Amino acid sequence: MQSWSFADGHWREGETAGAAFTWFDITGADDPALGELAERFHLHPLAVEDCRSTLLHAPKVDDFGEHLFIVLQAVVERPGGPDTEELDIFLGRDFLITYQDRPIATADSAGRAPSAALVEALRQGIGVRPGPDGLLYELADRVVDDILPCVNALAEDLDAMQDAIVLKGRQGSEHQQTLEIRAHAGRIRRILTPELAVMQRLSRGEFTVVDEANRIYFRDIYDHLVRIDLSLEGVREDAEVALSTYLSAVNNRLSEVMKVLAVVSALMLPSTVITGIFGTNFDNVPGLHSNWGFLAMVVSMVGIAAGMALFFRRRGWF
C-alpha cells in the first residue's frame, strides 16, 4: 500500500499528522491494509466483501452515509483485444481508498497506469484538484481517457478489414475478425452504460461527500463517456456495414463461379447429347462404320460448343 496526504496546501508522500485528507492506494488481494483501513474508517462490510470478491462487478456507486463505495471498470488492451479490470474506490470526507487486486494494465501515453500517473502528478504538484473528491475526479478522468485509445484501435482495425474486403478483394479471416471487433465494441459499451450513471449521480449533488465545486468535473467525465459511447456506436455500425460488404463480396464471387459452371455445363450439353446418341446399342446408326465418323462427331461437338460460346459472348453472359 502507498499513501499520500494533503497538509498545509501541499501533497506529501505517506501519512502526515494533521493532514486534511489522505489517499490510500492498495494493490494486491493479499495486502492486509484493506482490513485495517476498513476497521479504521468503518467501511461497510458488504463493500469490503465486494472488493475481495473475484467476481467482476458492474460500475456502481453505493451510499453508506459517511462514505461512498464506487466501482469503476478500466478498459485494458490485451493481445486478444480490449478487456476490463475493476477499480474499487471508497470516498469519505477526509480519505480516499483505491483498491485493485492486481495493477491495472491500462496505461496513458507515457506508459503509466492511472494510479501511477496520478502519483507522478502528485509528485510534480501539477494538475491535481485538492480534496478526496478532487482526487476521485483525477483518477476517474484518467481511467476514462484510457478507453478512447482502445476504441480508436478498434476503429483502425475495422478500417483495415474494410480495405482488405473492398480494395484488395481478400476473403479469408476478415469475417471472423470483424465479428470479434463488433463483440469487443459491445463489451466496452456494456460497461459504459452503468459508468455513465455513476458519473451522472456524482455530478448532480446527490452525495454530500462530493463538494459542489467538483460536481461540474464529474459532469465533464460524463460528457467524455457520452462521446466515447457515440464512437463505439459508430464502430458497431461500421462493423455491420463491413459484414454486409463481406457477405456481398462472397455472394458476388459465388455468382461468378456459378456463372462459369453454368456456361461450361451449357457448352458440354450438346456433346453429351451427341455422344449419347452415338453410344446407343444400335448397329445401323448413320456414320457408325464410316472411317470419318469419329472425326465428324468430334468436329461437330467442337463446332457447336464454339458457336454457343460465341453466342454467349455476344449476349454478354460471360
| pLDDT at residue number 219 | 93
Cell readout for 33 is 491494509
Whether CATH 3.30.460.20 fits 2-251: yes
**Tell me, what's the pLDDT at 119?**
63
pLDDT by residue (tens digit) across 73-87?
Answer: 888 777 777 888 888
Indicate the pTM of the whole model.
0.73
Per-residue pLDDT of 164-184, as tens digits, reads: 776 655 556 777 788 888 888
pLDDT of residue 107: 46
The per-residue pLDDT string of the chain (318 residues; one tens digit each, 9 = 90 and over) reads 888 777 777 777 787 777 788 889 888 777 788 889 999 999 999 999 998 888 888 999 999 988 999 999 888 777 777 888 888 999 999 899 999 877 665 444 444 455 555 666 555 555 567 788 988 998 888 888 888 888 888 888 888 877 777 665 555 677 778 888 888 888 888 889 999 999 999 998 889 898 888 899 999 999 999 999 999 888 888 888 888 877 777 787 788 788 878 878 887 888 888 777 777 766 776 766 777 777 877 888 888 888 878 887 787 776
Instruction: Give the position of cell 461500421.
Output: 238
